[in-house]
Structure 1
Amino acid sequence: MPPVRKRQANQPAPADSDDGTPQPSPARRQRTRSSSAAEDGGSGAPSNLDAMVKKMVRLALASEYARLTIRRTDINAKVFGEQGTREFKVVFEQAQKELRSRFGMEMVELPAREKTTISQRRAAQKTDKPSSGNKSWILTTTLPPSYQSSTILPPTKAPSASTESTYTGLYSFIIALISLNGGSLAEPKLDRYLTRMNAETHTPIDRTDKLLQRMIREGYLVRTRELDGGEEQIEFLVGPRGKVEVGTKGVAGLVREVYGRGVGDGNANGRVPGYGDGDEDVLGGEMTQIEEEEEGGV
């Protein structure tokens, strides 16, 4: 008769079911329940990629609300953190899809600042491949032109609709002056235009000097200084945000609205030839007309 081995007291034999099938031990059942719960919870929990996309969308909306540029350094620090930026392209494209589908906006890269002074041009010549962008973005609308009206897109209510619309009109006016003067405007000439508007010292928003500093800080204007024959020459240029947010089309629309050139004054579709098409000669001709009226006391 073969010897019968005794089972240890602390390891009871697994109980059999009614049909004779052995049942799993309690420890195995616990491991099975844990793995099943992990699988069920993992399918509903947001992935790491989704979390980074949401962070980038929130960063873009918050930056645009404060008129701050969305910088690559801020994205690296606030979206990716210590995880690295290897998935930047994937996260950026997914964030663009969310902004377009949910908010009707998208991130547009700002152009690089122009090299205007002699020192800046010399530094640019030493660079092998000058960059056309500056790794900064702002939000712009993706709505069709027919929906881009003040009725559908009114000025923001913070701090107030009146203040916001006034500020928009002021920086659009100054950008138009710079564009119509060939892309740069000397400080004395800008002061002369502001004097005609009774805005040489104060505006409805703030003091004129503080308002110009705000426009420079937010990227609507660029102020340059250069010595020419021992004299300091100060000029104003259109900044990166001004080029994207207003641009040539915005300048053309402002001139058309002020001078009443609409349907019947241009071509068959009511557009003034050259306006909105980057035609600098037409814009320059309009500036000549403005200066002639100014000299004539109109």
Structure 2
Amino acid sequence: MRDVDDDDSDQDDHAPKTIRQTTVGTKVLDVLPEDFERFVKDAVRLAVFSSHSEAGAVKRDDIKALLGVHTKLYDTVFDKAQERLRNVFGMEMAELTTKGRSGKNEEKGTKTYILRSTLPSDLLASESLDWDDQLEDQGLLMVILSLIMVREGVIYESHLKQHFRRLMLMDEGGDIDKKMDMFLKKRYLERSKLEHLDESGEKIEMEVRWGARARAEIPEENVVQFIEEIFGPEAPKTLRESIVKASNLKSTTTAQNGAGDAASTNGAPTGSSSNAILL
């Protein structure tokens, strides 16, 4: 014979179960709280791991794949993962774009994200963080981005190498070429062939621009400040105004310094604007 308690237990097992919901802000989601938390953790983990991969980026579809049949939760999970990344890691996901800052076409999103720091600049520059051997690469990248920026966002690769020679960065070992390849691979730089041809019908020059990752990670104002620091106390009073004009910047930086919108030079070849200044 079975006890009465056993009968009651069997009845409980067959009784309809209440579906628990998760409340996120003002949204009520038809998913268990522990499942939603798992989605958020998985998205954060994927973003962090992807930042150390060869591509260094995570795709929207990769995050959606974590959600299984709950793809409608993508926006809510993404926002919560962003909050977790900022509060715990001091980072956030930034979408890469398909167009550079030069040209008239607006930038378009690629649904691909990289991690960028949200830490204040004074903390990044303090001795609290040990950049180890990354400082050399960061310095070289800032020099390259500066040279590109003050030529209205594009420079001939041959002109860039001329600057490398002046700065005594060229060597027989080809280390600077390896660094350039690394910056291109990590999408800090973009390189493309020119459309005009020589007499033999072959393309003769390459252009170098800021890459999608540089546009997402590095504010132009930071590069302006970097150039000012390079010049140091001997810098002319009009240095910032000259940088803004040479860069053809249209931002609060321009307005604050009274430089106005820099006019494009008619007939100036791409990558060798007459507004360019020599560093």
TM-score (norm 1): 0.66
- Alpha carbons of 1:114 and 1:65: their partners in 2 closer, same or farther (altered >3 Å)? same
Cα distance in 2 for partners of 1:85, 1:53 equals 13
Does 2:114 correspond to 1:138? yes
Cα distance in 2 for partners of 1:59, 1:223 equals 29
- Partner SS, residue 205 of structure 2: strand
Matched with 1:215 is: 183
Cα distance in 1 for partners of 2:63, 2:5 equals 51
* Superposed CA offset, 1:217-264 (max 9, x none): 111100011231334221101011112222312211220111015999
- Alpha carbons of 1:115 and 1:247: their partners in 2 closer, same or farther (altered >3 Å)? closer
Residue correspondence of structure 1 range 239-258 to structure 2 within 5 A: 239-258=211-230
Cα distance in 1 for partners of 2:274, 2:194 equals 28
Cα distance in 2 for partners of 1:113, 1:167 equals 24
Matched with 1:65 is: 52
Determine which structure has more spread, i.e. the larger CA radius of gyration: 1
Matched with 1:224 is: 192
- Alpha carbons of 1:223 and 1:131: their partners in 2 closer, same or farther (altered >3 Å)? closer
Does 2:166 correspond to 1:179? no
* Superposed CA offset, 1:158-205 (max 9, x none): xxx12x1111111111111111111100011011011122222468xx
5+ unaligned residues in a row in structure 1: which ranges? 1-11, 15-22, 125-129, 156-160, 291-298
- Partner SS, residue 229 of structure 1: coil
The Cα shift of 1:287 comes to 4.2
* Superposed CA offset, 1:68-108 (max 9, x none): 1222233234x23x435221101101101111221222212
Cα distance in 1 for partners of 2:11, 2:220 equals 67
Indicate conservation of the 8 Å contact 1:201/1:209, yes or no: no
5+ unaligned residues in a row in structure 2: which ranges? 23-31, 245-250, 255-260, 263-272
Q: CA RMSD in A?
A: 3.9
Residue number among 78, 84, 98 corresponding to 1:98 in the alignment: 84
The Cα shift of 1:265 comes to 5.2
Matched with 1:76 is: 64
Matched with 2:277 is: 288
TM-score (norm 2): 0.70
Cα distance in 2 for partners of 1:135, 1:115 equals 18
Indicate conservation of the 8 Å contact 2:157/2:208, yes or no: yes
Residue correspondence of structure 1 range 153-168 to structure 2 within 5 A: 153-155=129-131, 161-162=132-133, 164-168=134-138
Matched with 2:258 is: none
Indicate conservation of the 8 Å contact 1:104/1:143, yes or no: yes
- Alpha carbons of 1:262 and 1:146: their partners in 2 closer, same or farther (altered >3 Å)? farther
Indicate conservation of the 8 Å contact 1:53/1:95, yes or no: yes
Does 2:165 correspond to 1:195? yes
The higher relative CO (CA closer than 8 Å, separation ≥ 6) is in 2
Cα distance in 1 for partners of 2:234, 2:79 equals 39
Letter in 2 for 1:132: K
Q: Percent identity?
A: 23
Cα distance in 1 for partners of 2:122, 2:234 equals 16
Matched with 1:8 is: none
